[in-house]
Amino acid sequence: MGFEFTVSTTDRLDIVDVTDRVADAVPAGATDGALTVFVEHTTAGVVINESEQRLLDDVRTFLDGLVPDEGWEHDRIDDNADSHLRALLLGPSTTVPVVDGRLALGRWQSVLVVDCDGPRERTVRVGYTNTSTER
Ligand code: ZN
């Protein structure tokens, strides 16, 4: 997991398309494999979906509405239990197949970092696993 980059978010619930930066993690000369994209945080997640602005607004509205802002035990510590719970639903990692050295994403798929407790700097790690075999 040698490749990492940071993402700056601007809102409490913010979504950043990192597809191009993830693509940069494919090693030169790579053929077939997989990238694991991982966020090093307990209040952010990474998902694959469509990077369309109205949909991203809907995702924010959806996540906001799923989890009440208040009434959680963890709020006595640092007042962000709702952010942890939203991130828990998203998960901290995703996998992207690599075919012929390129991300094998579907036509409408993008890799999205979802910050549930921004604005912050977030660290994203990307690891490549080679799965090609001699033919
Ligand atoms: Zn916390």
**Span 54-113, pLDDT tens digits:** 999 999 999 999 999 999 999 999 999 999 999 999 999 999 999 999 999 999 999 999
- Look up the domain containing 37 and give its range: 2-130
Query: What is the whole-number distance in angstroms between the Cα of residue 4 and the centre of ligand 1?
Result: 23
Query: What is the whole-number distance in angstroms between the Cα of residue 120 and the centre of ligand 1?
Result: 14
The number of domains in the chain is: 1
**Which residues have CB atoms below 5 A from the ion given as ligand 1?**
78, 80
Residue 93 lies in a domain: yes
Report which secondary-structure segment, H or E, holds 120: none
Query: What is the whole-number distance in angstroms between the Cα of residue 1 and the centre of ligand 1?
Result: 26
pLDDT band at 134 (very low <50, low <70, confident <90, very high): low
Residue 135 lies in a domain: no
How is 68-113 classified by DSSP, letter by letter? -SS--TTHHHHS-HHHHHHHHHH-SEEEEEEETTEE---TT-EEEE
